[in-house]
Amino acid sequence: MQHPLHQFQFCPKCGAKQFVEHNEKSKKCTACQFIYYFNPSAAAVAVIENDRGEILVARRAKDPAKGTLDLPGGFVDMYETAEEAICREVKEETGLSIKSSQYLFSIPNIYLYSRFKIHTLDLFFRCKASDYDRLTAQDDVSELFYTAYERLDPDKFGLISIRKGVEKLLSEATNSRRKQLKENK
């Protein structure tokens, strides 16, 4: 397996060419002794349901995975919390304002951008939105639509972490329905 920093040839601190593997996730400059650790970038993903319990799904307008299904979200910016990021990303991609968000789970991912593998940690949030009448596909989204959970096909989601997240959501929805059926007997 290739070192995650194999494309980095020069020390980002002093610019020296003596930038060598230190361990499986870092490189070290033998000139200035700087060690650079390659850690995942944070991304936030919104699970938005309407009043009918349908989930908001997006279609990706850009690569990676252009044309495949996705959930609204994106990278967390510097000096921004994941909660702030999910509000900003949802607004940018859908026009909706997030009223509340609740952390659900996280899934690691590799996001290919400009032929560079960016390791991410995707943080999933269940979100309540307002102003549903402002729903508009924007930014890097070409289409938005609501669909019932049972109509979701994880294989149509192009990013691995989103696919795994949808699978987890479907599993939890199935388990929740089973529990309700047992309680109603």
pLDDT at 185: 67
Using an 8 Å Cβ cutoff, are 107 and 97 in contact?
no
For residues 109 and 132, what is the distance between their CA atoms, to the nearest angstrom?
Answer: 30
For residues 38 and 12, what is the distance between their CA atoms, to the nearest angstrom?
Answer: 12
Instruction: Write down how long the chain is.
Output: 185
Residues 6 or more apart in contact with residue 22 via CB below 8 angstroms: 28, 35
pLDDT in tens, 115-174: 888 999 999 999 999 888 889 999 999 999 999 999 999 999 999 999 999 999 999 888
All domains of the chain, ordered by start, with CATH?
1-38 (no CATH), 41-176 (3.90.79.10)
Q: How confident is the model at residue 175 (pLDDT cuts 50, 70, 90)?
A: confident
- The CA-atom distances, in angstroms, between 5 and each of 20, 31, 119 are 9, 18, 11
